[in-house]
Amino acid sequence: MYRIKRIVESFFVLLAALSFCVFLLPSQATVANAAGIETTNDTLAIIPAKDGTRTLDSSNGVDVHAQLLDGDSFVIKNNEVTLVNASGTNVAKITVTLPVGKKVVFNSTTSTLRIVNSSSFGLMSANGCTNNKWAQWLVRVSGDLLVCTPAAIAATGVSAGVAEAFVAAGCAGGVEALVTWISC
């Protein structure tokens, strides 16, 4: 009887761990649904210039990925996006027609242009989300410490082991979903 109980308990603990891992997977899909740029062709624009050619690619149907040269940057003012090269010369200017409450932002890390909400509060990256790793880390720690830990301890009264593991895994998955929600 003791051995059967132990096997059942091990099975549920393993199941809880697996269910937690599944929560980690869908972050890419959520990010992919978050933007609003519509394109029809894989290559949105090819920008020839004296110093080289840049391309704007929208093959993923979500963001516009810019293949730029070293030192290039985008200057965004209202609905005008200007591509500036390393010496400060304007290479191209794109005028974007945007719905009310939207604006274009350029993520230099991923080299992508994206249309986002223009409302903002101090800490966020002005597009209703953040990619700041420490902000995400803080949300994870707060969730785990203030929500998951007491919830798991509360579950101890019901059935230590199985229930605790399930509650902890489910709660950690919820915290992960919260982090995905605020991520760009």
Partner 1 sequence: MIHDIVTMNKNPVSHSTMTGHQLSLLLTAILGMNLIIMSIKEFDIVMFVASVAVIIVFFLIFEFALYRMNVSQEQHKKKTGWKFLIFAVVCAVILVVAVAWIYVL
The contact set with partner 1 (CB under 8 A) reads 2, 5-6, 9, 13, 16-17, 20, 24, 119, 121, 123-124, 128-130, 133-137, 139-162, 164-165, 168-169, 171-172, 174-176, 178, 181-182
Q: Least distance (Å) from partner 1 to the CB of residue 81?
A: 25
Distance between CA 78 and CA 51 in Å, rounded? Answer: 27
Q: Is the distance from CB of 77 to CB of 96 less than 8 angstroms?
A: no
Q: Least distance (Å) from partner 1 to the CB of residue 87?
A: 33
- 2 vs 77 by CB, closer to partner 1: 2
Q: Identify the helix (H) or strand (E) that includes residue 92.
A: strand 90-95
CA 106 to chain centroid: 15
- 57 vs 176 by CB, closer to partner 1: 176
- 102 vs 140 by CB, closer to partner 1: 140
Extended strands (E) in 108-156: 112-117
Distance between CA 153 and CA 122 in Å, rounded? Answer: 35
Q: Least distance (Å) from partner 1 to the CB of residue 158?
A: 8
